[in-house]
Structure 1
Amino acid sequence: MSVAEPRRIVLFRHAKADWPQVSDHERPLADRGRKDAAVAGRKLADTGIPFDLALCSTATRTRETWKLAVHELPHRPKTVYEERLYEASPGELIAVLNETPDDAQNVVLIGHNPGVHGLAEILAGQAEGDSRARMNGRGFPTAAFAVLSYDGSWKSLEPGTATLLDYWAPTE
């Protein structure tokens, strides 16, 4: 694998969670969230990106989102459940991505707002078409994802070094 080949980073916010009497970390998906997670999985499959690695927050709602979405993909990438993704800032998310092995070409990160939306904004030095306007107009709702392209090693990923290629969010 050559670092000259663009990497793909998909920043995927968990689907809609329920609000039962449990800690925030343990909140499960709501009925709408389960439906939206599967739809998002089909949309991820439509991107044609062959994911090598999934980095998923340990929160119940992110794990459930990924479990439903990954079933829609043509192949299941290696999944790492990472505690540091829960309530992470964009800077903390970049630090986790900087640790990604360089043999991982395409990565999906399943996390939470405001960190995921903030990271998409911070990484995207450029944007194709109206992708930035669509992303900012929607505010990164649950089950939304942003697709970014990046040239370089994971260790050198930093603000402004990626291009926002696409953005998708479920209709309400």
Structure 2
Amino acid sequence: MSVAELRRIVLFRHAKADWPQVTDHERPLAERGRLDAAAAGRRLADTGIPFDLALCSTATRTRETWKLAVHEFPQRPKTVYEERIYEASPGELIALLNETPDDAQNVILIGHNPGVHGLADILAGSGEGDARERMERRGFPAAGFAVLSFDGSWKALEPAAATLVDYWAPTE
């Protein structure tokens, strides 16, 4: 694959978590989160993006979100559980994505706010249709995702290098 090929990155925020008496890292999904994670998975499958790689935070709620969402996919991508996603800033997430091998064309990152929302804002130099307006209006609620595309290698991914091509969030 040429590094100049179109690549896609999906930034997927974990679904709604519960607040039991556990550490933040160990918080599980709430019932609504389980329903929204599956709905997000169906919507992601509908995009037709053949994911090569999933980078998922090690937090319980992100792992549960991914398990429910990927169940809706026609094919499960290679999944890497990455502790650096938990509490990561947008800059730290870009650094992590810069490490992605160039044989991965389409990557999904399952993480947390404010990092995921901040990263979507920073990467999106432009937007298609009303995707940016919808993201700005809705924010980045639990189980929401943004689809961005860019040309070049993962090492070259930087602020404003991508186009926001789709945005989805569950209805409230």
The answer to whether TM tops 0.5 is yes
TM-score (norm 2): 0.99
Q: Structure 1 residue runs of 4+, over 6 Å off?
A: none
1:3 deviation in Å?
A: 2.1
Task: Give the distance between the partners of 1:58 and 1:123, measured in 2 at CA.
Answer: 23
Deviation readout 1:101-148 (Å, 9 max, x if unpaired): 000000000000000000000000010011111001101000000000
Match for residue 124 of structure 1?
A: 124
Match for residue 161 of structure 1?
A: 161
Match for residue 18 of structure 1?
A: 18
CA RMSD of aligned residues (A): 0.5
Deviation readout 1:21-52 (Å, 9 max, x if unpaired): 00000000000000000000000001100000
After TM superposition, list the pairs within 5 Å mapping 1:90-105 onto structure 2.
Answer: 90-105=90-105
Match for residue 150 of structure 1?
A: 150
Task: Give the distance between the partners of 1:102 and 1:3, measured in 2 at CA.
Answer: 6
Match for residue 89 of structure 2?
A: 89
Task: Give the distance between the partners of 2:140 and 2:156, measured in 1 at CA.
Answer: 26
1:14 deviation in Å?
A: 0.1
Unaligned runs of 5+ in 1: none
Unaligned runs of 5+ in 2: none
CA contact (8 A) 2:4 2:153 kept: no
TM-score (norm 1): 0.99
SS at match of 2:118: helix
Match for residue 74 of structure 1?
A: 74
The one-letter code matched in structure 1 to 2:154 is W
1:2 deviation in Å?
A: 1.9
CA contact (8 A) 2:90 2:115 kept: yes
The one-letter code matched in structure 2 to 1:45 is A
SS at match of 1:41: helix
Match for residue 36 of structure 1?
A: 36
Match for residue 54 of structure 1?
A: 54
The one-letter code matched in structure 2 to 1:28 is P
Task: Give the distance between the partners of 2:99 and 2:64, measured in 1 at CA.
Answer: 24
Corresponding residue pairs, total: 172
Task: Give the distance between the partners of 2:150 and 2:63, measured in 1 at CA.
Answer: 26
Task: Give the distance between the partners of 1:97 and 1:41, measured in 2 at CA.
Answer: 22
CA contact (8 A) 2:53 2:104 kept: yes
Task: Give the distance between the partners of 1:137 and 1:83, measured in 2 at CA.
Answer: 30
1:6 deviation in Å?
A: 0.6
Match for residue 140 of structure 1?
A: 140
The one-letter code matched in structure 2 to 1:124 is A
Task: Give the distance between the partners of 1:3 and 1:41, measured in 2 at CA.
Answer: 28
